[in-house]
Amino acid sequence: MSTTHVYVAPGFEEVELITIVDVLRRAGIDTTMVSLTETLDVTGAHNILVHADVPFSAVDGQLADMIVLPGGGPGTQALAASTALHARLHAYREAGKRIAAVCAAPTVLARTGLLEGVAATCFPGCEPVLAEHGAVVQTYQVVTDGHITTSRAAGTSGLFALELVKLLAGEAKATEVGRAMLYL
């Protein structure tokens, strides 16, 4: 079974976090919400409190099959300020693991040097940060280039999450979960 660590930073975008975690779990992917800090209760950008599964230190030295960064303005700022997270992202890249980010969070990947020469998308208005750090900026809703997947915003979270399912569990599982959610 594939494993995923979804990071929960203070000020995260609630729609993104919950959608991603929900869809991955519906697909049977072992998904752990990792607090960016040692505090498990984390408040989102719209004052919704979420209880993360584990603190940052609990997964020190552990690499899941994929690391996911939800966005949100304050959440992205917290992610960008964490040098420990940056080191963890580089460990994922060096191990050939998948890395995913949505909304403004792709700027964290750009600033840590992970998007140089990589096709990526982000929240509208954040493109200059990606371009400044060598990303090949796209305006598609979801972009996968090699081991990195990025997406635009809260409104694309479902498509983004289904792409992550496809990458970790296959297209048939992504279609199955997507159809069940859409009642097709």
Give the dihedral of Cα atoms 73, 99, 80, 159; nearest 10 deg. Answer: 0
pLDDT-derived band at 1, boundaries 50, 70, 90: confident
Q: Tell me what the mean pLDDT of segment 54-66 comes to.
A: 97
The reply to whether the predicted model has a pTM over 0.95 is yes
pLDDT > 70? residue 44: yes
Given 68, 103, 167, 168, the catalytic residue = 103
Structure tokens at 74: 């304050």
Strand 142-145 with 148-151, pairing: antiparallel
Pairwise CA distance, residues 128 & 133, whole Å? 9
Q: What is the pLDDT of residues 123-160, one digit of tens each?
A: 999 999 999 999 999 999 999 999 999 999 999 999 99
Question: What pLDDT, on the 0 to 100 scale, is given for residue 92?
Answer: 98
Question: What pLDDT, on the 0 to 100 scale, is given for residue 183?
Answer: 57
pLDDT > 80? residue 62: yes
Question: What pLDDT, on the 0 to 100 scale, is given for residue 30?
Answer: 98
Pairwise CA distance, residues 142 & 128, whole Å? 18
Give, in order, the Cα–Cα distances in Å from 31 to each of 22, 23, 83, 115, 158. 9, 10, 23, 24, 16
Query: Domain boundaries in the chain?
Result: 3-175
What percent of the chain has a predicted confidence (pLDDT) above 70? 99
Q: What is the mean pLDDT of the chain?
A: 97
Question: What pLDDT, on the 0 to 100 scale, is given for residue 184?
Answer: 52
Question: What pLDDT, on the 0 to 100 scale, is given for residue 179?
Answer: 95
Closest CA to 104 of 163, 146, 156: 156
Pairwise CA distance, residues 112 & 27, whole Å? 30
* Residues pairing with 168 in the sheet: none
Question: What pLDDT, on the 0 to 100 scale, is given for residue 182?
Answer: 83
Question: What pLDDT, on the 0 to 100 scale, is given for residue 53?
Answer: 98
Class of domain 3-175: alpha beta
Question: What pLDDT, on the 0 to 100 scale, is given for residue 95?
Answer: 98
103 is catalytic: yes
Q: Tell me what the mean pLDDT of segment 160-177 comes to.
A: 97
